Amino acid sequence: MTVQPQQATMPTVLVFEDDPGGDPLHINMPVPHPVPQLDTQPFPTAIAETAPQPNGAGPGTEAFRYWVAADSLGRAGQTWGPLVPAGTKWHPQVGRALTAHLNAGDDLNAFYDRKGVWFFRSTVAGVNIAACESNEVVLHETGHAVLDALRPQLFNMASAETAALHEAFGDISALLGSLQLDSLRIAVLGETHGNLELSSRVSRMAEQLGWAIRQGAPSAVDPDCLRNMANNFFYRDPVLLSPSEPASRLSSEPHSFSRVFSGAFLKIVAGIFRQQDLQDQAGLGRAAEIAGQLLVDAVVAAPVVSAYYAQVAGHMIAADQRRNGGMYGQSLRSAFIRHGILSLESAASITEPEVARRNAGITEAMPGGGDEEGLTPVTVQGTIYGVTQPLTLSAPAQERRFGIAGSDPAGGSVRPSDPERVATSFLEDLFRRGRVQVPAEHRSATSFADDSPSRLKTHEITRSTTGEGLALVRRCFD
Ligand SMILES: [Zn+2]
């Protein structure tokens, strides 16, 4: 038997490495990658459309869009697969493999809905925008599916802060996916002169989609991308924030509010990187992996409560003590304090003895579990929401493990809002943003349901499956 030299025969496809880029006249240079493997454990993926020949098709062709999406799905598996606990699977409703639909209709958006990940297209100022052509968008949506596998209880939670953590996890998925590539690690070290906190190609999410949205809604997104993880947004209890704001300000809208957590995460990667022996591309790869591991550990173990960011932060610090002897504690505390996710007193309270005392509950945590585990039903009057019957919401009310909270801008700690207030505030915000589908039979005479087709409905009002009356359920994360 003759051994063929592998490299000479390995077929490749052309792909973008992170995004088409924010200037449609000067798109990023496509690069050759090996034909991606999708059916890999623990997160097998598939694409609904038929696979074209890997024949080196370039931007603007269906074949190119297919292989960019496939490459991104494969990279999502490589990014998260090694970090999740053994036995982690997609949410049962997803099925064995997560299926991507690359041409789901006309819109500038994408979403995950437990049936798959859906990518839309639109033409803006003569430019064809396909969301599946951005690795950052594909990795963001796949990130929602990964977090849903780890923590299905977050899906239906009526809480701005848990929804925003889902969005942050999506952007972190895109960041860690980009940092899987040697070429992008080298590029970002050059662009930031080794200071990963700075704005860079990998901190700027979905530059092309951002450009397209900006043409019609100039203040809805950042000036150079959709969202930037290099930011200084400071924590406020989202119950106190407006339901929507221009991109330059923080609102309770989950994508907007996600920037507080994703901003801290970028600083954590930067801090862990500074602590590596060598500040080279390998050291950056290692830093990204360490930070991703601590996040996975934390979301599996953290109870779902109001002031959820603080709980996840505390569990990342605890995970570092358990895994690394607390080696990165200073980087973690500093990033969470700079974004107000932990108050000074909270950050100082997560000591080694405190973590050791609570260790049992943390290490026994398993991914998955029942969708309703830890959710506390809260029933509100339907009339004030324009529906005909009482309405049940799922409030975040698990038992807190660490008595910690975010910073009050005036000093000290924020007092976490009670779960009922978190849930009703979330519902009000959904209506104020026109994001709830209300079927005609449930509308009262004073209904204010928004029927505009341009508002993606992330939630719907349905007959309750567990009790009397109606319930708010999530359809998707976009
Ligand atoms: Zn999202």
Find, among 383, 374, 379, the residue nearest to 392 by Cα.
379
Q: What is the pLDDT of residues 69-89, one digit of tens each?
A: 999 999 999 999 999 999 999
Torsional sign, CA 366, 83, 159, 241: positive
Q: What is the pLDDT of residues 21-72, one digit of tens each?
A: 999 989 999 999 999 999 999 999 999 999 999 988 999 999 999 999 999 9
| Structure tokens belonging to residue 410 | 């005036």
Centroid of ligand 1 to alpha carbon of 142 (angstroms): 9
Helices 352-363 and 281-301 cross at an angle (nearest 10°) of 70
Q: What is the pLDDT of residues 359-402, one digit of tens each?
A: 767 777 899 988 888 889 999 999 999 999 999 999 998 888 88
Centroid of ligand 1 to alpha carbon of 167 (angstroms): 5
Q: Name the residue type at position 194.
A: G
HSE-CB at 154 with a 13 A cutoff on CA atoms is 32
Q: What is the pLDDT of residues 224-277, one digit of tens each?
A: 999 999 999 999 999 999 999 999 999 999 999 999 999 999 999 999 999 999
Q: What is the pLDDT of residue 359?
A: 75
Task: Write the CB contacts of 410 (distance below 8 Å, at least 6 apart in sequence).
Answer: none
Higher pLDDT, 319 or 452: 319
Residues 165, 297: Cα–Cα separation, whole Å:
14
Centroid of ligand 1 to alpha carbon of 290 (angstroms): 23
Cis peptide before 243 (omega within 30 of 0): no
Give residue 94's Cα distance to chain centre: 18
Residues 22, 14: Cα–Cα separation, whole Å:
19
Task: Write the CB contacts of 35 (distance below 8 Å, at least 6 apart in sequence).
Answer: 10, 11, 12, 13, 54, 67
Centroid of ligand 1 to alpha carbon of 114 (angstroms): 13
pLDDT band at 9 (very low <50, low <70, confident <90, very high): low
Alpha helices in 225-326 (DSSP H): 254-274, 281-301, 308-324
Is 335's pLDDT higher than 60? yes
List CB-based neighbours of ion ligand 1 within 5 Å. 167, 170, 477
Torsional sign, CA 444, 445, 446, 452: positive
With beta carbons less than 8 A apart as the criterion, state whether 406 and 414 touch: yes
Q: What is the pLDDT of residue 8?
A: 55
Tell me the average pLDDT of the chain. 95
Find, among 44, 96, 107, the residue nearest to 73 by Cα.
44
Residues 443, 474: Cα–Cα separation, whole Å:
18
Domain regions of the chain by residue span:
6-363, 375-474
Centroid of ligand 1 to alpha carbon of 170 (angstroms): 6
pLDDT band at 420 (very low <50, low <70, confident <90, very high): very high
Torsional sign, CA 274, 277, 282, 288: negative
Mean pLDDT of 294-307: 96
Residues 284, 361: Cα–Cα separation, whole Å:
32
Q: What is the pLDDT of residue 360?
A: 66
Is 4's pLDDT higher than 60? no
